[in-house]
Amino acid sequence: MLEEIRQQPAALERTLKASLRPMERFRRTIARKPPRLVVLAARGTSDNAAQFGRYLLEITTGIPVSLSAPSIHTLYNATVDLRDALVVGISQSGESTDTNLVVERARCQGAVTIGITNEPDSALAKLAQHVFLVRAEKEKSVAATKTYTGQVLMLYLLAYALGARLRIADLERLPDKAAAALKLEPAIRGLSERYRFMNQAVVVGRGLNYANAFEFALKLMETCYVVAERFSSADFLHGPIAMVERAFPLFLFAPSGVTWPSMREMLEKLESLNAETVVFTDSANAEAAALRTRVIRVPAKLQELYTPIPYIIPAQIFAACLAAQKGLDPDRPRTLTKVTRTL
């Protein structure tokens, strides 16, 4: 897992370089008949990437985005009108049965379909009209890391193709920002020792980093066996904050930008409750250092729009290091396999 985390700058660079030309072709194609709706279908880590895609696409393009509920198709056999929609299947392996069924039925209805996968010979790659490959090379650890950030990068490119005012030059800087995040590994390894006996935690994110809250919590659950709940800061204040007591561990994604005021307010509230807080942020957020919290700061100044990839990498490192502190093998979580097929 750690080795694949370290491979992310190179994987991102490969993915971007190989995807620019086909995404430009798709951009010209989709401009002739823009979709009225985007539907994202995924499971597990890929579903967390889809959650990011929902925020990104709606914020930057104004196109409504829905996260598909595959059980509507696989269990209830319901017919959903997906004409004039763009349906995107996201799967590391490309073999997620229910995700693929959503794509297959959408294509039969005349929807434009996209497959985002790390496997060029997968079922998803054969089903979708347009296939965009995450160039992460083989991912051996059960816990997905480099494929997650590759999918997030691909969703930036999809937003660009759908008319978002994203500059390719800014996306080309993301591999370097990922490399900067990797420099935190020694400090994170040291910090993880403090949480060796942690059995429960809450992870909080908002907006573009809401998906990272889900993804980090998933990594804590599947590699460290920590019961990790995930919330937006707004939802957490509406009730779940009642469970917080002295030394209760919370991890927060807190970039500067529009989400920072609410995150700062929440951190101040947690400080008054004597909670144990760790903040993922970057050099642009000087205010975070003024609060009584432990800070994992990416050594780069980032616009909020481009924080999700650099922010999740320290969280991935933390999960891998914490698993080692607990004497667990993060590459082989109990009862899990790399490819999960669900109906």
Alpha helix positions (H), 7-132: 8-31, 44-61, 71-74, 97-108, 123-127
Q: Say what the pLDDT of residue 270 is.
A: 93
- 188 with 143, same domain: the answer is no
Q: Evaluate whether residue 334 is within a structural domain.
A: no
- 10 with 84, same domain: the answer is yes
Taking residue 335's Cβ as centre, other Cβ atoms within 10 Å add up to: 5
Q: Say what the pLDDT of residue 74 is.
A: 87
Taking residue 168's Cβ as centre, other Cβ atoms within 10 Å add up to: 13
- 141 with 207, same domain: the answer is no
Q: Evaluate whether residue 335 is within a structural domain.
A: no
DSSP state of 331: T
Question: Crossing angle for the helix pair 146-161 and 308-325, nearest 10 degrees?
Answer: 170
Task: Check: CB of residue 175 under 8 Å from CB of residue 10.
Answer: yes
Query: 303: domain range?
Result: 176-325
Q: Evaluate whether residue 292 is within a structural domain.
A: yes
- 17 with 140, same domain: the answer is yes
- 156 with 184, same domain: the answer is no
**Residues 6+ away with beta carbon under 8 Å from 292:** 271
Which of these three, 155, 172, 189, is where a domain ends? 172
DSSP state of 318: H
Q: Say what the pLDDT of residue 339 is.
A: 55
Which of these three, 172, 203, 225, is where a domain ends? 172
- 203 with 114, same domain: the answer is no
Residue 173 CA to residue 168 CA, distance in Å, equals 9
CATH number of the domain to which 100 belongs = 3.40.50.10490
Q: Say what the pLDDT of residue 342 is.
A: 59
Torsion angle in degrees (nearest 10) through CA of 185, 293, 290, 234: 110
Strand partners, 162: none
| Phi-psi sector, 251: left (phi>0), alpha (psi -120 to 50), beta | beta
Mean pLDDT for each 10-residue chunk of the chain (343 residues)? 97 97 96 96 96 98 96 90 95 93 94 97 96 94 94 98 97 98 98 96 97 98 96 87 92 96 92 94 90 92 97 98 94 66 59
Q: Say what the pLDDT of residue 191 is.
A: 97
Q: Say what the pLDDT of residue 166 is.
A: 97
